[in-house]
Structure 1
């Protein structure tokens, strides 16, 4: 696989995930507050099962291609910065999002929802920066 194709897959993944995280951040996670207590556990299960089918393959593609680009271009390159941003996204997911979703599996917890919304800004900002970097590198490649 050529480095150009790897870069394009990486850029597509980053753009897709950035768009998705903004929808999740501004619409989906805040809407958790409006789900009734009685149906919340069922809603949470549906959310996790559905979103995982979309997010996991694209996140795996992004981290794999980010690592490959850093490997090919050096771990002190702009591509490496993209890889480090993606690593921070994965760390944030593991430290904040997964634990909050685990709390919400059993019942609606307003504090966990608030934590989910507030800590998700980390991923939202990091993915936005990652997409900005990818866009910059794409424009540099084209010109």
Structure 2
């Protein structure tokens, strides 16, 4: 069971890490290039389409990170699993407290301040997912030795 948890956490975390870097460097900066007349529809489609992609991966990451605290793989320290869970929880908190409200602001139309805030604040999630990827990769390396 611990190895399965590790594989699920590794896969979902690496998926989200790659996705967040794409969103951070490509997708969010391009929001300001959408014409104001098309922005509302574009943003609504972004939200509709991205949800089914990120929700299962984020949920799998969080649940498996919690499971690794309870049942860490052999050879991995519990503190490393706990650090991973804390970082995963932090991504959920930042998403709920910062990114979601900014997307709600953008749902009513283009707002250059909200767009800039979305890009700047998303660096927090980009760093958090990158850190979690490093933690889970370290756990996998330790578990394989």
TM-score (norm 2): 0.94
- SS of match in other structure, 1:77: helix
Flag structure 2 segments of 5+ consecutive residues without an equivalent: 73-77
RMSD: 1.2
C-alpha separation in 1, matches of 2:137 and 2:67: 18
Q: How far has the Cα of 1:8 moved from its partner?
A: 0.5
Which position in structure 2 is the counterpart of 1:65? 64
| Structure 1 residues 43-75: Cα deviation after superposition (integer angstroms, max 9, x where no partner) | 0010001000100000000001111111224xx
Which position in structure 1 is the counterpart of 2:75? none
Runs of 4+ in 1 over 3 A off after TM superposition: none
C-alpha separation in 2, matches of 1:116 and 1:71: 35
Aligned runs of 1:71-82 on 2, under 5 Å?
71-73=70-72, 77-82=79-84
Q: How many residues align?
A: 141
C-alpha separation in 1, matches of 2:44 and 2:26: 18
2:89 to 87, 90, 94: 87
- SS of match in other structure, 2:115: helix
Flag structure 1 segments of 5+ consecutive residues without an equivalent: none
Which position in structure 2 is the counterpart of 1:101? 103
Which position in structure 1 is the counterpart of 2:47? 48
C-alpha separation in 1, matches of 2:6 and 2:139: 9
TM-score (norm 1): 0.95
Which position in structure 2 is the counterpart of 1:30? 29
Which position in structure 1 is the counterpart of 2:7? 8
Which position in structure 2 is the counterpart of 1:137? 139
Q: How far has the Cα of 1:95 moved from its partner?
A: 1.1
Aligned runs of 1:119-138 on 2, under 5 Å?
119-138=121-140
Q: Which has the higher contact order (CA 8 A, sep 6+)?
A: 2
1:118 to 117, 120, 123: 120
